[in-house]
Amino acid sequence: MELSSEMIRNIKNKNPAAIRLLVGRYQDYVYTLALRVLKQTQAAEEVTQDVFMKVIDKIDQYKGQAKFSTWLYTLTYRTALNHRRGHSFQQEEPLHTEIPGQTSPPGEPEERNRILWQAINSLPAPYALIITLYYLNQLRIREIAETLEIPVNTVKTHLSRGRKKLHRLLEKHYSKEELL
């Protein structure tokens, strides 16, 4: 999932095919992180666009010392925080709402996904963000700490507490055996 040096060179040269590939490969990750920080879909979409414009403009700043995805997530996180500071949101939107007429039993994949996202979204923001970065974006603890500019032990603590809270929330929908 990381970018090759040739791909980075093509992005530096503003190659349209390379830029399309970059966006296609990382758009969902950038959007998910922005949404996790901002909790508003329109703002997350704006930040996602801003991030890719910044990547194209600032690709020279990527030195290859860390994984490209770590650099990208750091850029996304900071852009989302700056966006949040610069805008006051009227109301947070629910990130995954109930689908009208949906009657899937709790064992169905769509229903399980919906329940999981509702549980994640109900966690305190730091826990939800770290769980998303760790499980969905598959960042290592050290990478999360670098991205969020917090100590590694804070990441570990938030991850542990977030898991426990998430487990308690999911116990309302599933038996303990189903959660293992």
Domain 109-179 has CATH 3.30.930.10: no
pLDDT of 93 reads: 47
**Angle at which helices 68-86 and 16-38 pack, to 10 degrees?**
50
Residue 101: pLDDT band (50, 70, 90) is very low
pLDDT of 179 reads: 63
Residue 108: pLDDT band (50, 70, 90) is low
Q: Domain map of the chain by residue range?
A: 5-86, 109-179
pTM: predicted TM-score of the whole model, two decimal places: 0.64
Fold for domain 5-86?
Answer: Rna Polymerase Sigma Factor; Chain: A (1.10.1740)
Q: What are phi and psi of 70, to 5 degrees?
A: -65, -45
**Higher-scoring residue by pLDDT: 106, 44:** 44
Rounded CA separation 1/24 (Å): 11
Tell me what the mean pLDDT of segment 122-131 comes to.
Answer: 87
Residue 88: pLDDT band (50, 70, 90) is low
